[in-house]
Amino acid sequence: MKILMILTSHDQLGDTGKKTGFWLEEFAAPYYVFKDAGAQVTLASPKGGQPPLDPVSDAADAQTPATERFKQDAAAQQALASTLLLDSVKVENFDALFYPGGHGPLWDLAEDATSISLIEQFQGAGKPVAAVCHAPAVFRHTKASDGTPLVSGRRVTGFSNSEEDAVQLTDVVPFLLEDMLKQQGGLYSRGADWESFVVEDGLLITGQNPASSEAAAEALLKRL
């Protein structure tokens, strides 16, 4: 099994002057789900190299067994520090695609032509794509083979409006993920705030929030 994980390269939280990036748990938990299952994991990002870490996800109260494991894992840290340039990866080299969240993807991956093309190619080739928390932003402009929005008529989830409100970033983000998925015709559903909730619709797997990252990765593995 060869799994491609794509991380954000965006580190600015709008014009707040604060930093953002990827969310540590949403990378670490799936990474170890895949590695422990014997998968070969490749990391990529739009700019390559070290993706920016959302500092809030590195706070003491955000730590989980997976993030603690990552901090003791020199090989994983080296892999993260040297992500491939996104436009250098090819669909035929991988069996599945996974996007960790964090607020960063709302700005770069949602609009990234290479990422959009990769998702469309993976889906067209019958390969599963999973995204957790804010990462379903990557489906903002993706299309199905018939030209309709990829999520149209499909069951999806992602970071909810009430969760965005709780972290007080409703007026900072470029768009609200829940609203966008609905506008694209997605059949959006959600669980309770901050509880694990994963939705599968064929080759499309989405998780609502950081607590959903491990379950979303396990769902992707089952598809494989």
Residue 191's pLDDT is 98
Structural domain of 193: 2-223
CATH of the domain at 94: 3.40.50.880
Q: What's the pLDDT at 167?
A: 96
Taking residues 138-159, what's their average pLDDT? 97
Q: What is the distance between the alpha carbons of residues 197 and 120, in angstroms, rounded to a whole number?
A: 24
Q: How many domains does the chain have?
A: 1
Q: What is the mean pLDDT of residues 50-54?
A: 98
The DSSP bridge pattern shows strands 40-45 and 84-85 to be parallel
User: Do 99 and 8 meet the contact criterion of CB atoms below 8 Å apart?
Assistant: no
- Note the pLDDT tens digit of each residue in 14-47: 999 999 999 999 999 999 999 999 999 999 999 9
Q: What is the mean pLDDT of residues 55-73?
A: 96
Other beta carbons within 10 angstroms of residue 130's beta carbon come to: 29
